[in-house]
Amino acid sequence: MKKEYNLIKKNNDYFEIFGEIFIKLISLISFIVIILIFVFVFREAQYTFIEQRHETSQEEQIQETYGDIPEDNNVSTSGYASMETSGHAGKADWNNLTSKNWQPVSSEPKYGLIPLAIGSFKVTVVAVLFGAPIAILAAIYTALFANKKLKEIIKPSIEVLASFPSVVIGFFALVILATLLQNIFGYQYRLNAFVGGLALSLAIIPIIYTITEDALSTVPKYWVEASLALGANKWQTAFFVILPAAIPGIFAALILGFGRAFGETMIVLMATGNAALVSTNIFEPVRTMSATIGAEMAEVVFGEVHYGVLFLIGSILFIFTFILNAIAEFYIRGKLLKRFRGDV
């Protein structure tokens, strides 16, 4: 098609020429936005390392806090009011950032990112360990064993889960799941990494399911037929032919699921208890990196160290998910396609 187009392209048709330039410029926006995200999230993170001024007046500070300050006085504003937002001295250095305490609002603020990183990993690992096997097995059932009718019921039903807003899943975890699980397991804290992780698995199950199902369905039909023709039965074909061929796709699904879980905010913000602890116990509350940004950005003052540190956390999240996505894409593109083209 492209060649035919070019044959009749006239050189003096300005509508065509400027139209094409316009389309190109607009399609550059996605790229520009990526660059801008890089630049501006990193730029604001600089305040982590800048020595603070103290002369900001109280009035200015109130104007420059972000998020809303509830205007309805009948309702508690305690969460906001009790937070002292006055400027803190100094800047965050490497030792402070790698310490084991996250106490940004105190006379001697501690910006240790270790407990937050541990929190993020704990919740994410629970989510992937729980969600991935179920999602992959369900995908295997849909792609390999289900008959056409069942497939048309199961697939859309699971994909509906992808349309559930994360705040809804978070609410479900906070109000229903947390109590239910505490009654079953009898642990001490109602909200903890376990509850958050399980809720988070609901968010990544549809992703892992869909990609795995795709990977399994794109295994060439003649591979399956060849296997059956050689006398292998349905399960042997599934196990030894289709599954190994789809491994790169499943791997990519896992990586993308991991990345999504790591960056997810609302679910962990609502369901993990948000206490920055250094521990390996999954039944204790955790505070993740994303939840920290979500919870504290409304209380910080522009240009303060705390403000900078939150952006620094955002930068780390961005780079981390960026790398994961790049790996997943490279893996799908490189391995999966090559394999199906026949040059294993």
Partner 1 sequence: MRNKYLGKAFEILTLFSAIAIISVILFMLFEILYNSWGTLNWNFLISPPDQGMTAGGIFPAIVGTTYLVLLMSLIGVPIGTITAIYLVEYANSKSIFTKIIRFAVNTLAGVPSIVFGLFGLGFFIQFIGGGLDKVLYDNKELVWGQPNLLWASFTMAFLTVPVVIVSVEEALRSVPDDLRAASLALGVSKLRTIIKIVIPNAMSGIITGTILAISRGAGEVAPILFTGAAYFLPKLPSSLSDQFMNLGYHIYIMSTQSTNVDETAGIQFATVAVLLLLTSSLTGIGVYFRYKIRKRKLN
CB of 234 to partner 1, least distance (A): 7
Rounded CA separation 292/120 (Å): 10
**With the CA atoms of 321, 327, 332 and 334 taken in that order, what torsion angle do they form, in degrees rounded to the nearest 10?**
160
**DSSP assignment letter at 73:** T
Q: Which of residues 289-308 bind partner 1 (CB under 8 A)?
A: 290, 293-294, 297-298, 302
185 forms part of the interface with partner 1 (CB under 8 A): no
Per the CB < 8 A criterion, the answer to whether 267 and 169 are in contact is: yes
Q: Which of residues 42-61 bind partner 1 (CB under 8 A)?
A: 43-44
Interface stretch with partner 1, choices 89-97, 182-190, 264-272, 275-283 (CB under 8 A): 264-272
Interface stretch with partner 1, choices 223-231, 277-285, 324-332, 334-342 (CB under 8 A): 324-332
Q: Which of residues 218-257 bind partner 1 (CB under 8 A)?
A: 233-236, 238-239, 256
- Range 117-151 burial, b when 16+ CB lie within 10 A, else e: bbbbbbbbbbbbebbbeebbebbbebbbebeeeeb
Contacts with partner 1 by CB under 8 A: the residue count is: 109
Q: Which of residues 2-31 bind partner 1 (CB under 8 A)?
A: 2, 4-5, 8-10, 13, 15-16, 19-20, 22-24, 26-31
276 forms part of the interface with partner 1 (CB under 8 A): no
104 forms part of the interface with partner 1 (CB under 8 A): no
340 forms part of the interface with partner 1 (CB under 8 A): no
Query: Which CB atom, from 87 or from 281, has the smaller least distance to partner 1?
Result: 87
Helix (H) or strand (E) holding 50: none
Query: Which CB atom, from 112 or from 209, has the smaller least distance to partner 1?
Result: 209
Identified binder of partner 1 from the candidate list 92, 113, 126, 138, rule CB under 8 A: 138
Residue that the structure tokens 């609410």 belong to: 171
CB of 108 to partner 1, least distance (A): 26
172 forms part of the interface with partner 1 (CB under 8 A): yes
Which of 260, 263, 259, 290 lies closest to 274, judged by CA? 290
**Distances in Å between the alpha carbon of 232 and those of 121, 224, 236?**
42, 10, 6
Rounded CA separation 40/278 (Å): 31
